[in-house]
Structures are given as structure tokens and as C-alpha cells.
């Protein structure tokens, strides 16, 4: 059983600017926490980040090879990418969308998510803990569907 932690554009800069919105935790610290939680869950965890839409799509396509749950924070692509939406729909793998901030309390343009249209569920506004909660949900989904 595998879980892919996939992060989109600019999230590699987490913790460096705008701590009031995205907190002070770095992406590397989030990935370390996900790896530790994966060990507790007994699942293999792969963490990746890309600023490039096509590279994120390639990561999603690779999940066709093995039963994998996907934790996806697509960053700004959340609000624009029909290509990411189609990639998720094409692999038929469970996806939990995660956002550090509560996108529904922010600018209007962040209230639309193409990812939510094809994701199993969405967690937003809970900071880095949202990734751990998403992993718990996916571990249960993967167990039920295996």
C-alpha cells in the first residue's frame, strides 16, 4: 500500500515567507512528518514537489502502476488546472485534496477548485496537520478497497 504526497507550485518556498498565511513549517518538515506517519500506518510514502503542471501530471500517471492513494496540494493550480483534474480522473486512484490555508476564507478566485471535482475529499485550513489527516483517510480507503 502506497501514499504519494504531491505538492504543487511555490510550496518549495514554504516557511520562508507569509508565515501568517501558510505557517512557519517548511515543506521538508511536512514531508518528514508524512514519512514518520507512514511508518506508523505501515504504508510506503513517496513525497514530491514540482512547480511544473506537466511534472505533477506525470507523477499522478505513475500511480496507475500500483494501488496508491494521493495527497495533493496543487497550490495555485487548484484553481486553474483542468489538466490536473483530467489526470486525477484518468488514474482512478483515491485523492485527498489538501490546503494549508482555508481557501474559502480567502480571495474569491481561491474558492474554485478543479481538484475538488474529482477528489475523494478535501481538507483545508488545518495547516500541516491536514496532510496527516489526509493520510489517515487514504489508509482507510485503500484498506477498504483492497
42 SS3 class: coil
Selection from 112, 111, 107, 71 nearest residue 88 by Cα: 71
Characterize 49-84 residue by residue with b for buried, 16 or more Cβ atoms within 10 angstroms of its Cβ, and e for exposed.
bbeebeebbebbeebeeeebbbbbbbbebbbebeeb
78 counts as binding ligand RP4 under rule CB under 6 A: yes
22 counts as binding ligand RP4 under rule CB under 6 A: yes
Binding positions for ligand RP4, 88-107, rule CB under 6 A? 99-101, 103
CA 131 to chain centre: 7
For the question of residue 22 being annotated catalytic, the response is: yes
For the question of residue 104 being annotated catalytic, the response is: no
Q: Least distance in Å: CB of 135 to ligand RP4? A: 16
Q: From start to end of 21-62, where are the E strands?
A: 44-49
84 is in an annotated binding site: no
80 counts as binding ligand RP4 under rule CB under 6 A: no
**18 vs 140 by CB, closer to ligand RP4:** 18
Tell me how far apart the 2 most distant CA atoms of the chain are, in Å. 41
110 is in an annotated binding site: yes
Give the binding site for ligand RP4 (CB under 6 A).
10-11, 13-14, 16-18, 22, 73, 75-76, 78, 99-101, 103, 110
Annotated binding-site residues for substrate read: 73, 79, 86, 100-101, 110
Q: Could you list the active site residues?
A: 22, 99
Amino acid at each position: 500500500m502506497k501514499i504519494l504526497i504531491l505538492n504543487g507550485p511555490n510550496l518549495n518556498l514554504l516557511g520562508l515567507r507569509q508565515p501568517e498565511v501558510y505557517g512557519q513549517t517548511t515543506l521538508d518538515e511536512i514531508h518528514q512528518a508524512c514519512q514518520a506517519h507512514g511508518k506508523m500506518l505501515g504504508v510506503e510514502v513517496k513525497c514530491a514537489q514540482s512547480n511544473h503542471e506537466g511534472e505533477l501530471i506525470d507523477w499522478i500517471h505513475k500511480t496507475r502502476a500500483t494501488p496508491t492513494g494521493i495527497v495533493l496540494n496543487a497550490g495555485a493550480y487548484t484553481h486553474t488546472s483542468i489538466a490536473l483534474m483530467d489526470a486525477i480522473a484518468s488514474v482512478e486512484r483515491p485523492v485527498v485534496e489538501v490546503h494549508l490555508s482555508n481557501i474559502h476564507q480567502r480571495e474569491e478566485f481561491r474558492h474554485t477548485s478543479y481538484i475538488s471535482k474529482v477528489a475523494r475529499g478535501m481538507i483545508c485550513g488545518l495547516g500541516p496537520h491536514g496532510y496527516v489527516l489526509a493520510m489517515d483517510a487514504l489508509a482507510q480507503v485503500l484498506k477498504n478497497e483492497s
